[in-house]
Amino acid sequence: MNQIRIIVYVAWLCIFIKGNSQPVNLPDASVVYPRVGNTSYYDWIILKNPAYTSCIDTRINLPVWVSHVITKEMLEFGDTIKRKRPKNPGYSKDIRYKLLKNNAFSSSGYDHGHLAPAADFKWDAEAFLTSFLMTNMAPQHGCLNQKGWCHIEAHCRKWIKDEAGGILYIVSGIIPGTYIDTLCINKKLTVFVPEQFFKAVLYLDNQGNGSKAIGFIVDNKDLPIADIGNNTVTIDRIEELTSLELFSFLSDDVEEEIESVSGDFEIVPTFLECPDKNCSSVYSGSRKLPEERTKLRCD
């Protein structure tokens, strides 16, 4: 039986904003630790970061899930701070999983798609920067990452900001088993491109009386913003496809109640934080579609 190795990057302590900033109360994100029903099927490495946890499947060299939490306080504080994307490299090798080199998906036609979005971590400099590690990235079609996936991420932030309090627990990942492409990065590394991604969202209010959850499953291709409402599913459905128990910290009665239905979350067709663009503008100029690439091919 394969064993899950846990590598601790930083202890879960009180995390303070770097620079000219104030402390933010960070809820305990370590409770969001999906359990797997069939451990012999996976070969996992668990990587804990300041504000999120990433689970790498070493057979496909990708994160199969990434979990984190957000609150209204964290996001509103982050909105007061201007963060810049890292450069040189933009997407950094994680020293705990060195196979995925800097900017590993460059020239593939796929975006480096954040599973835990950087915009959720602007409240802390280290949390923001570590969200650009390759162990938080999956190869996403540019017209998914920059359109529909971006819009789902923006909805999560809108939902928690619209609440008086509470915590939003988020698990993002891939639907394992079906892959549409392979990237031959070098002689030692092949990355599998997932056909589908999921995002599971759980809201708990401060009193524990307003719990609700919603899930999304999206194909790794162009997803117009107006269509994301057609991709909602229950948490039970995601768990069925992934063999994961996503929110195992819930009591059995609460879990059974909220995971079998899609909660009452407002989905708006307007452009929230994501730019209004069509797919042709994503793949413009010299940028090639994945099927047109000449590099990182395995044939």
Q: What are the mean pLDDT values of the chain's consecutive 10-residue runs (299 residues total)?
A: 44 36 64 68 83 94 96 94 90 95 95 97 94 97 96 96 91 96 92 97 81 96 92 97 92 90 89 84 94 92
Structure confidence at residue 18 (pLDDT): 42
Which amino acid appears at position 185 of this protein?
I
Structure confidence at residue 42 (pLDDT): 61
State the Cα–Cα distance between residues 53 and 210, nearest whole angstrom: 25
State the Cα–Cα distance between residues 156 and 203, nearest whole angstrom: 10
H/E stretch holding 155: helix 149-162
Structure confidence at residue 209 (pLDDT): 63
Contact 7, 96 (CB under 8 A): yes
Q: How much is the pTM? A: 0.90
Structure confidence at residue 5 (pLDDT): 47
**Phi and psi torsions of 296, nearest 5°:** 60, 25
- Strand runs labelled E in 89-178: 110-114, 137-141, 167-174
Structure confidence at residue 20 (pLDDT): 39
Contact 66, 54 (CB under 8 A): yes
Structure confidence at residue 22 (pLDDT): 42
Contact 33, 47 (CB under 8 A): no
Structure confidence at residue 93 (pLDDT): 95
Structure confidence at residue 221 (pLDDT): 97
CA distances for 108 relative to 61, 140, 294, angstroms: 16, 10, 8
State the Cα–Cα distance between residues 216 and 201, nearest whole angstrom: 9
State the Cα–Cα distance between residues 294 and 178, nearest whole angstrom: 23
- Residue entry with tokens 């305990």: 28
Domains along the chain? Answer: 5-276 (3.40.570.10)
